[in-house]
Amino acid sequence: MRIGLFIPCYIDQFYPQVGVATLKLLEHFKAGDIEFPREQTCCGQPMANSGCVDDARPVAERFIATFSDFDYIVGPSGSCVAMVRHHYHGLIGDEQAVHDIAGKTFELCEFLTDVLKAMPPAGRFPHRVGLHQSCHGLRELRLGSNSERMVAPFNKVRSLLESFEGIAFSELSRPDECCGFGGSFAVEEEGVSCMMGLDRIADHERAGTEVLTAADMSCLMHMDGLLRRRRKPMRVMHVAELLVEAMGI
């Protein structure tokens, strides 16, 4: 397989170690020939979410042109993958190109579980882990079951972690509540956004979370900022970083 490594712009600029961890995982699981197209920029989500459709369109067109020749496109961000999968329709005139690109774009954990059929990896992580389920990953990509739907419980992210020796999971009172980030919402409604984030952190504190993880670095960025400003000791890690550390790769 020829895989295009999709590293969202904010990860590329602020959290490059998450991109490196993603590459290490794909190589470890022998996903195929992995390439990082230097022409990639942004998926267009920030502009689209702010209603700036005319600004989002050329960015989305560039994404399609950059990644169209790959068999799969894999990225460590549920919200950015959801943008490509669900919100390019109607944004770009070439619906066939949109359909093709959406069908082969995957969030990292769902690619490992659904496409590669990876077995739960061996490793050791002796910490209590709090799993934040981001809204886009949960409700648009179906990375796990959510409280609004009467379905059998499942969680693709947790399934990759639960085999690690020594790991324990926090039991939250509201396991699928939003952290309050929401991109530009965190800027335009700063007070509401911060209160939602603090509520999410308080739930993790009550549950004894030592390490807070998620498949979306944007949510983690928001909560990490709130934690650091209040000098709280909770560690924040993207799930790719956690997997790499636990597996020792």
Tokens of 20: 């490196």
Backbone angles phi, psi at 43, to 5 degrees: -80, -15
Same domain, 86 and 136: no
Same domain, 55 and 104: yes
**The predicted structure's pLDDT at residue 186:** 80
Same domain, 135 and 75: no
Predicted confidence band at 188 (pLDDT cuts at 50, 70, 90)?
confident
Establish if 123 belongs to a structural domain.
no
**The predicted structure's pLDDT at residue 170:** 98
Residue where a domain terminates, one of 115, 139, 155: 115
Q: What is the CATH number of the domain that holds 210?
A: 3.40.50
Establish if 94 belongs to a structural domain.
yes
Cα 231 to the chain's mean position, in Å? 25
Establish if 72 belongs to a structural domain.
yes
Same domain, 139 and 46: no
**Averaged pLDDT score across all residues of the chain:** 96
Establish if 221 belongs to a structural domain.
yes
Establish if 120 belongs to a structural domain.
no
**The predicted structure's pLDDT at residue 19:** 98
Residue where a domain terminates, one of 84, 115, 146: 115
Which stretches of the chain are DSSP H helices?
A: 9-14, 16-28, 45-49, 53-67, 78-87, 95-103, 108-110, 135-139, 156-161, 185-188, 190-206, 217-229, 239-247
Buried b (16+ CB within 10 A) or exposed e, 12-45: eeebeebbebbbbbbeeeebbebeebeebebbbb
Window from 7-11, 106-110, 185-189 with minimum mean pLDDT: 185-189
Same domain, 51 and 146: no
| Mean pLDDT on 57-61 | 97
Establish if 133 belongs to a structural domain.
yes
Evaluate if residue 149 carries a pLDDT over 90.
Answer: no
Evaluate if residue 123 carries a pLDDT over 90.
Answer: yes
Predicted confidence band at 148 (pLDDT cuts at 50, 70, 90)?
confident
Evaluate if residue 79 carries a pLDDT over 90.
Answer: yes
Establish if 122 belongs to a structural domain.
no
| Mean pLDDT on 22-31 | 97
Evaluate if residue 42 carries a pLDDT over 90.
Answer: yes
Establish if 121 belongs to a structural domain.
no
> Which residue from 150, 115, 114, 145 is spatially nearest to 131, judged by alpha carbons?
145
Residue where a domain terminates, one of 91, 115, 139: 115
**The predicted structure's pLDDT at residue 144:** 95
Same domain, 108 and 134: no
Same domain, 153 and 110: no
**The predicted structure's pLDDT at residue 183:** 81
Same domain, 25 and 62: yes
Same domain, 101 and 19: yes
Same domain, 221 and 141: yes
CA dist 241 and 17 (Å) reads 8
Same domain, 132 and 242: yes
Which domain covers residue 187, as residue numbers?
128-247
Interval 154-181: pLDDT, tens: 999 999 999 999 999 999 999 999 999 9
Same domain, 111 and 133: no
Number of domains composing the chain: 2
132 vs 189 pLDDT, higher one: 132
| Element holding 107 (H helix, E strand) | strand 105-107
